[in-house]
Structure 1
Amino acid sequence: MRSLEAELATAHELDVSELADAVETVGFECTRCGACCTADDDEPHTATVFPDEIRELQATDDYDWRDVARPMPYGLTEGADGPEGETFEWALQTDDCGDCTFYEETDGVGACTVHEDRPLICRTYPFSVALGGTSQPMGEAVEREGMVRAHECEGLGRDIAREDAVEMARALKERAIRELEEAIAVRDSYDPVDAEGGVVVHDSEGAKRPDGTSL
C-alpha cells in the first residue's frame, strides 16, 4: 500500500488537461434532481466538508458552526444521551428530513442556497480521483476513465462543454490534494481523547467539540 505522502505527490502531478479529457469522455450535465443533496433510503445526507470550508460558509450568513456542519456519524455509537465517540471528519449539516441544510426544491427543481461557496465535494460530484486516501462520494464508482471515477448520477453521459470539463478537472485536482493533506494532518496530530459520553471530531486542526471549538 502506498503512503499518503506518495499519493499526495501523485495528486500534485495530476494533469488537469488529462482529467478534463476523462470528464469530457464520460460526460455530465447537472439535471438539478437533488439526489446528491438529499437523504438516501432513510440515511441522512453525508458530504465531507473541510474546517476552512465550514468557516467560509459561516461567513455567508453569520451561521454558527453547527448550522453548517455536524460530526461525521461514521465511527460514532448511540449512547444514553445521544451519539458518542471519536470521528475524523465533518459532514454538511442536515435538516429534519436528512437533506443537506442548504438544499431547497421548488416544483421538483433543486437548488443550492450557497452554490457559489459550496464545498469541493459538491463542486466535483459525481466525479472523484482514484487515489488512495481520497473519498468515493455516495458509493462505488459506476464508470471509470483513467484516474477519474464517475459515481451514480442521472446527469452522467450528457454532453459537457470543454471549459466546464476543465473547471471540473481543476476542482478534482484541488480536492484530491486537500483530502490527502487533511488525512496526513489528522494522522500526524491524532491523540486519543476521552469523549466523556460525548463526541470528539479530529480534523487537521486538532480535536474539536461538535460546536467546532477546540479541546
Structure 2
Amino acid sequence: MESLEAELEQAKDLSVAELADAIETIGFECTRCGACCKAADTDDGEPEPHTATLFPDEARELQGAAEDAFDEEYDWRDVARPMPYGISEGDDGPEGETFEWAIGTDDCGNCTFYEEDEGGTGACTVHDSRPLVCRTYPFSVALGGTSQPMGEAVDSEGMVRAHECEGLGRDITREEAEDLAAALKERAVRELEEAIDLRDAYEPRPDVDGVVVHDSEGAKRPDGTRLEPR
C-alpha cells in the first residue's frame, strides 16, 4: 500500500488535460435536480442526512459567504457539523471521536444552503463559495484505480470515476470539462494534504467528554473551537 505522501505526489502530477478528456468522454451537465444536496432515502424509510466533507478553511469561507448572502451572523455550527461516523448517543448526549467535518444540514437532512423554487429546481445559495466536494460532484479521482471516495462508481474513464447522477452522459464543452478537471485535481491534492496533516496532528482525547472532531488543525469541539493539547 502506497504512503499518503506517495499518493500526494501522484495527485500533484495529474494531467488536467487528461482528466478533462475523461470527463468529456463520460459527459455531464448539471440538471439542478438537487439529489446531491438532499437527504438520501433508505430502505427503512428514514432519510439519511446529506453528508459532504468540509475542510476547516472551507467552513470559514462558507461562514463569510453566508453572512454576506443573508446579512446575518453565522455560527460555525450553522455551517459545519461533525462527521457522524464514530459518534454515538450517550447518557448525556452525543459522544465519541470523529474525523473531519460535514456541511451543515437542516431539519430535513438537506444541505443547509440548498433551496428549491416552486417548480422544484434546486440552487445553492452560496454557489461561488461551495466546497471542492460540491464543485466536483459527481466525479472523483481514484489514484491507483482502487479508491472509491464517494461510494461505488457507475462509470469510469482512466482515473476518473463518475458517481450516480442524472446529469451523466450529457454533452459538456471543453472549457467546462477543463474547469471541472482543474477542480478535481485540486480536490485530490487537498484531500491528501488534509489527510497527512490530520495524521500528523492526531492525538486520541479520551480525557474529553462529549464529541471531539479531529481535523488537519488539531482536535476541536463541535463548535469549531480548538482543544488545548494534553
Return the alpha-carbon distance in structure 2 between the equivalents of residues 5 and 196 of structure 1: 31
What are the residue-to-residue correspondences of 1:191-202 with 2, within 5 Å? 191-194=203-206, 196-202=208-214
How large is the Cα RMSD of the aligned pairs? 1.4
Give how far 1:136 is off: 1.9
TM score, norm. by length of structure 2: 0.90
- Decide whether aligned partners of structure 1 residues 134 and 203 sit closer, same or farther in structure 2, where only a CA change above 3 A counts: farther
Rg larger in 1 or in 2?
Answer: 2
Match of residue 101, structure 1, among 98, 105, 112: 112
Name the structure 2 match of 1:182: 194
Change (3 A) 1:86 1:134: farther
For the pair 1:29 / 2:29, whether they are aligned, the reply is yes
Query: After superposition, what is the alpha-carbon deviation per residue over 1:87-118, rounded to whole angstroms, capped at 9, x for unaligned?
Result: 01100000000000000011210000000000
Query: For residue 216 of structure 2, what is the amino acid of its counterpart?
Result: S
Q: In the alignment, which residue of structure 2 is the partner of 1:136?
A: 149
- Stretches of structure 2 that go unaligned for 5 or more consecutive residues are 42-46, 68-72
SS in structure 2 of the partner of residue 173 of structure 1 = helix
Cα gap change, 1:135 to 1:178, in 2 (>3 Å): farther
Give TM-score, length-normalised by structure 1. Answer: 0.96
Please name the residue that 1:149 is paired with. 161
Question: What is the alpha-carbon distance in structure 1 between the residues aligned to residue 115 and residue 82 of structure 2?
Answer: 22
| Counterpart-to-counterpart distance in 2, 1:43 and 1:11 | 31
The answer to which of 109-118 and 82-91 deviates more is 82-91
Cα displacement string for residues 95-150 of structure 1 (whole angstroms, at most 9, x for unaligned residues): 0000000000112100000000000000000000002797622x211111001000
Give 1:43's aligned residue.
48
Contact 1:85-1:195 at 8 Å conserved across structures: no
- CA displacement 1:150-202 (0-9 Å, x = unmatched): 00000000000100000000000000000000001111110011264410000
Cα distance, 1:78 vs. partner? 1.5
Identity %: 75
Q: State how far apart, in whole Å, the 2-side matches of 1:50 and 1:195 are.
A: 25
Give runs of aligned pairs for residues 41-80 of structure 1, distance below 5 A.
Answer: 41=41, 42-60=47-65, 61=67, 62-80=73-91
